């Protein structure tokens, strides 16, 4: 018996993989509706298609261009991105797990571990505590994972405050924006179209998120009107985090499986699900296997993020000038951010002046 706590994409996809292997899986979700509340921009690269054939009802927009903005520069780069309805996507993956044979308990709250082979959960609707006998426990329950805390796997991982809202804004539905510089310290701002007159606008930062958000909102829209909030914490990848202890495993945000460059965690979590499924089935060491299979990619994202955090506005202006070269544009279109190692390698080969920034990776 395998118990997975958290029916986000990481937990549900792992449940699907394990159920397909004939394992008995119970998926526990705290909320009564899977996918809510929404706390994500829902933008992914076409690498998602390596895992799913997305249904049309899941897709909001297909984007073919990103507009990158720095203090004194702005460029547009052709690429392929998908904007999803996150609640529908989460439900889509959970349905896959259910169809594969996983049992899903919504409105059930994880309360703790009772020894190594029992999980205590609260049936919130019936208002009673249950004991679930289990051989394996997986925490897929977000950045403040209760499973990690109960198992002694909690750590001092850092988190960005991702402050996002839906706002009234007319923009090209085929492109999205990213904003960099001192007005977006240690991370960036984004503006992603949902329709011709509605966008998902947000910023990520370690502190003073509200101040930076409202400044960005006013500069971008000229108003301070918010239709609804979709904010949440964004974990920063921690390469030292222990993600397996005995029969307890962590995945997704609970394991900081997030690209530090963009805050995107969906595709890293799907990759991790394959690794964890293999580790459970074949009794491998998940800590070691994850580092071999995905850890190098996330570590590179982390080093790039640490480098970008040292940038001045002039550095960002200069970076955009290099990105605007045709030979660089071709590389950016061929390799997406979910394949960072070949992306960075080919950028350095095509444009050696990127070495000016690469040196910062080592300092």
What are the structural domains of the chain?
Answer: 2-37+86-155+241-305 (3.50.50.60), 43-84+158-234 (3.30.9.10), 306-362 (no CATH)
Tens-digit pLDDT profile for residues 97-152: 999 999 999 999 999 998 878 999 999 999 999 999 999 999 999 999 999 999 99
Residue 24, pLDDT above cutoff 70:
yes
Q: What is the DSSP letter of 254?
A: G
What is the rounded CA–CA span in Å between residue 109 and residue 309? 38
Token pair listed for 159: 């988190």
Return the closest-CA partner of residue 3 out of 20, 32, 27. Answer: 27
For residue 339, the tally of other CB atoms under 10 A from its CB is 15
Q: Is the dihedral of CA 246, 250, 251, 255 positive or negative?
A: negative
Q: Find how far residue 363's CA is from the centre of its chain.
A: 27
Top-confidence residue, 360 or 159? 159
- Measured between alpha carbons, how far is residue 142 from residues 110, 190, 235 in Å? 12, 22, 9
Contact status, residue 275 vs residue 289, Cβ threshold 8 Å: yes
Tens-digit pLDDT profile for residues 172-206: 999 999 999 999 999 999 999 999 999 999 999 99
109 backbone φψ class: left, alpha, beta (φ>0; ψ -120 to 50)? beta
What is the rounded CA–CA span in Å between residue 253 and residue 237? 9
- The count of residues in the chain is 363
pTM recorded for the entire structure: 0.94
């Amino acid at each position: 018996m395998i118990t997975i706590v958290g029916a986000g994409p990481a937990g549900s996809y792992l449940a699907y993989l394990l159920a397909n292997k004939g394992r008995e899986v119970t998926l526990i979700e705290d909320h009564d509706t899977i996918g809510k509340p929404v706390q994500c921009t829902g933008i992914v690269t076409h690498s998602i298609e390596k895992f799913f054939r997305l249904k049309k009802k899941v897709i909001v927009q297909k984007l073919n261009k990103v507009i990158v903005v720095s203090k004194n520069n702005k460029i547009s780069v052709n690429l392929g991105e998908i904007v999803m309805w996150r609640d529908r996507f989460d439900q889509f993956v959970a349905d896959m797990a259910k169809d594969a044979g996983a049992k899903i308990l919504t409105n059930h709250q994880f309360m703790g571990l009772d020894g190594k082979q029992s999980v205590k959960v609260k049936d919130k609707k019936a208002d009673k505590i249950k004991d679930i006998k289990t051989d394996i426990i997986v925490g897929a329950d977000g950045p403040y994972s209760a499973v990690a805390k109960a198992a002694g796997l909690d750590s001092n991982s850092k988190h960005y405050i991702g402050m996002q809202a839906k706002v009234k804004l007319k923009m090209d539905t085929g492109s999205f924006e990213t904003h960099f510089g001192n007005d977006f310290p240690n991370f960036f701002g984004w503006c992603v179209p949902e329709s011709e007159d509605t966008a998902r606008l947000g910023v990520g930062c370690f502190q003073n998120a509200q101040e930076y958000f409202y400044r960005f909102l006013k500069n971008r829209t000229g108003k301070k009107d918010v239709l609804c909030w979709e904010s949440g914490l964004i974990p920063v990848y921690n390469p030292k985090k222990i993600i397996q202890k005995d029969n307890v495993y962590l995945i997704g945000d609970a394991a900081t499986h997030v690209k530090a460059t963009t805050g995107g965690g969906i595709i890293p979590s799907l990759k991790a699900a394959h690794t964890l499924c293999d580790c459970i089935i074949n009794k491998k060491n998940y800590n070691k296997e994850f580092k071999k299979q995905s850890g190098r990619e996330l570590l590179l994202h982390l080093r790039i993020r640490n480098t970008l955090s040292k940038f001045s506005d002039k550095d960002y202006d200069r970076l955009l000038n290099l990105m605007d070269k045709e030979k660089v544009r071709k590389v950016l279109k061929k390799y997406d951010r979910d394949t960072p190692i070949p992306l960075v390698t080919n950028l350095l080969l095509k444009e050696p002046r990127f070495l000016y920034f690469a040196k910062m990776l080592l300092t």
